[in-house]
Amino acid sequence: MHTTAQMLLKLKKVPNVIALQASKIKFPEKFKGTIIEKWADYWKNLFIDYRQMIQDLRTDIQDDPRKAFIWTTSLFGIYALAKNNPSEIDFKDKLRIIGNEMALVSEDCQNPTSINHLKFLNTCYNEGVIHYKSFGIASIMYTSELNSSCDLYKAHCSYLKPSYFSLPSRIVDVGLMGNWWNIYMKMASYDVKH
């Protein structure tokens, strides 16, 4: 608590010290009324606005530290999720690794659920109906009925396209915190036949 108070005190002094130094700087007479003076005024006003924002932030932190802590942890949490958001390449790599590991296991020992899921994903990739969508902090892999290069009437007719309400049933996997969770759960016991 003592170090937090010292940090807030230093934050309080910094804008005043910088403002004092800025007021000591004099602008030459030959540049008055030119674009250089307008440019300098712009940066001076921008600095004043940011100084006021820092002072307001400091008072908000002092008034409600619990709220500031919640906001800070939320922002760091969102940053961590965005930083560890898995890509489609991660999904393909995981699929190849699992396929290679399952090839080493005897067919008598392979879990049928894992085998069927792996065959389904490989079939979707072969048909070109599996797609990737990133939401910044999480990603999904979903299937469509037709390949994007398909030129049938069904692909162009708006009445035959799937609705947004059918999207949850078409989601194959959800990626969050650097892992694809459905493939992780279905392949956890791929070498155990019940």
Per-residue pLDDT in tens (0 to 9) along the chain, 194 residues: 556 666 656 656 655 665 566 566 666 666 677 787 788 888 888 888 888 888 888 888 888 888 888 888 899 999 999 999 998 899 899 889 988 888 888 888 888 888 888 889 888 888 888 889 889 899 988 888 777 776 666 666 776 677 677 778 888 889 988 888 888 888 888 777 77
Residue 143 forms beta bridges with which residues?
A: 130
- Quick one: 31 and 119 in the same domain? no
In a domain, 162, yes or no: yes
- Quick one: 59 and 109 in the same domain? no
- Quick one: 8 and 59 in the same domain? yes
Beta-carbon contacts of residue 114 (< 8 Å; ≥ 6 apart): 98, 102, 186, 187, 189, 190
- Quick one: 108 and 171 in the same domain? yes
Q: By three-state DSSP, how is residue 61 classified?
A: helix
How many structural domains are present in the chain?
2
In a domain, 68, yes or no: no
- Quick one: 102 and 162 in the same domain? yes
Q: pLDDT value at position 86? A: 92
**Domain span at 41:** 2-63
Find how far residue 122's CA is from the centre of its chain: 27
- Quick one: 107 and 27 in the same domain? no
| 89-110 exposure pattern, b = at least 16 Cβ within 10 A, e = fewer | ebbeebbeebeeebeebeeeeb
Q: pLDDT value at position 22? A: 57
Beta-carbon contacts of residue 140 (< 8 Å; ≥ 6 apart): 132, 133, 171, 172, 173, 174, 175
In a domain, 73, yes or no: no
